[in-house]
Amino acid sequence: MIKKEAGQRGITLVALVITIIIMLILAGVTLNITLGENGLFQMARNGVGAYKEAAGKEDLALQQGSEEIANVLESLKPPVTIDGGEVADNIKEYQGKYVDIGLDTNGNDDVDDWELFYAENDRIFLIAADYVPTDTLEKNWRVIGSGTKLDGGGFKKHATYSYNVYWPSAPTSFFEELADLSLVKHTGYDLNDNKGKTNSNAVSQLLDTVAWSGIKEAASADKQDCIDFVIGGPTLEMWCAAWNEAVEGDTKGFVTIDPDPQTDGTGYKVKHGTTSSTYLYMNGTTSSLTADQRSELENTYKTFFPHTGTSAWNNCYGYWLASPSAVYSNSLMFVNFNGSVDNYDYNYSYYGVRPVVCLTSGVQLAETFEGSNIYNISK
């Protein structure tokens, strides 16, 4: 029998219960700290989520930074340039794209006023994207108006309508400073051999490079060296050559021009296939186009049309071509708003001009930015 020594005490039941309660409380606190809503495990989970989120943001930032660096490096690359030979070989691809020569034709913009029209060997030709207002011809470029060369030869602006220029009386002067006629493809009719004809005199005004030099002088100073000469409009041969390139493989088109002499004048007729005529519509027939046919041609081949509207557009029905008609000795060829290439008297006052700019040999074109369809020029 075990005897209890004096001074020894046993654990009472109460103390044991209290101890157990304290241990349970401590265990509960520990479990709450570890597993509770804001416990260590949850905090660990939150930390893992926050880390993943931060890592994702960092990856996104790195990706964006890499893209920005790539864009900067891309912008530092010299732009891809094309020359006249490239344009001539792929004219259908480039026709109608805008070329910025720093020359505003209508007071609205100086970028989209000139379209790429044609290329001959390494020479690129631009055409005004629309009729040029007579006020611009007179005040800005000094082509018509009091005391200017063309005005002295009979070339006038209409007093009322904004775009119309004409010869109110028979032109008596033949201007000698003509553009290179082989370059502008005016080779089927010899202007110099026909100086006595009034329609030849009128055409010489459109082809006189001195009279239209104010257009070159009005271009940006840094781009004037890129311009060789300017004329008052394309020749019929140039227009047909550009059109044939535009509609290559299409049933539309003017296969040739026909410089056959007729009763009282020598000049041009248009020909589609074997059919020769004094006029043709752009679908290759002499039948009037329906509104839908004209709209289709206008949208597909906008570079060749006059202003995309109706004949009521300031009463300007079309634009003159720098070629005489074979029909009458006082008629020139022109392009009508209705989609026909036709002829009319030079004293008919409802036609405007779309000047043509010939760029110098060796000029390069470069897109202002990728996919813009707007090109800068440089030498």
Residue 90 is which amino acid? N
Over the chain (379 residues), what is each successive 10-residue block's mean pLDDT? 51 75 74 63 63 70 73 62 85 90 81 89 91 87 72 77 88 88 88 88 92 90 93 94 84 73 70 82 87 87 77 80 90 91 91 94 84 82
CA 129 to chain CA centroid, Å, is 9
Check residue 265 and report its DSSP letter: B
The answer to whether 266 and 215 are in contact (CB under 8 A) is no
Kindly report the number of other CB atoms within 10 A of residue 196's CB atom: 9
Q: How far apart are CA 349 and CA 334, in angstroms?
A: 12
Nearest to 353 by CA among 210, 146, 193, 141: 141
**Pair 126, 101: CB distance under 8 Å:** yes
* 262 touches 228 (CB < 8 A): no
Angle between helices 13-35 and 40-76 (to 10 degrees): 10
Whole-prediction pTM: 0.78
pLDDT at position 19 = 79
What pLDDT shows up at residue 217?
A: 92
Q: In this predicted structure, what is the pLDDT of residue 44? A: 61
Predicted local distance difference test score (pLDDT) of residue 72: 61
In single-letter form, the type of residue at position 67 comes to: E
What pLDDT does residue 34 have?
A: 62
**From the CB of residue 39, how many other CB atoms can be counted at a distance below 10 Å?**
15
C-alpha–C-alpha distance, residues 317 and 335, integer Å: 9
Residue 221 phi/psi, 5-degree rounding, is: -60, -35
CA pair distance 112, 280, nearest whole angstrom: 29
How many other C-beta atoms lie within 10 A of the C-beta of residue 9?
A: 6
The whole-number pLDDT of residue 1 equals 46
Return the sign of the alpha-carbon dihedral for residues 229, 235, 238, 242. Answer: positive
Check residue 2 and give its pLDDT: 45
pLDDT at 229: 95
| Contact by Cβ (8 Å): 250, 267 | no
The predicted pLDDT at position 37 comes to 64
The residue extents of the domains of the chain are 13-77, 82-378
Q: How many CB atoms lie within 10 A of CB 312?
A: 9
Q: How far apart are CA 376 and CA 102, in angstroms?
A: 9
- The secondary element (H helix, E strand) that includes residue 91 is helix 91-94
Pairing of strands 98-100, 374-378: parallel
Q: What's the pLDDT tens digit per position in 147-159?
A: 566 776 678 888 7
Return the residue matching tokens 């479990």.
31
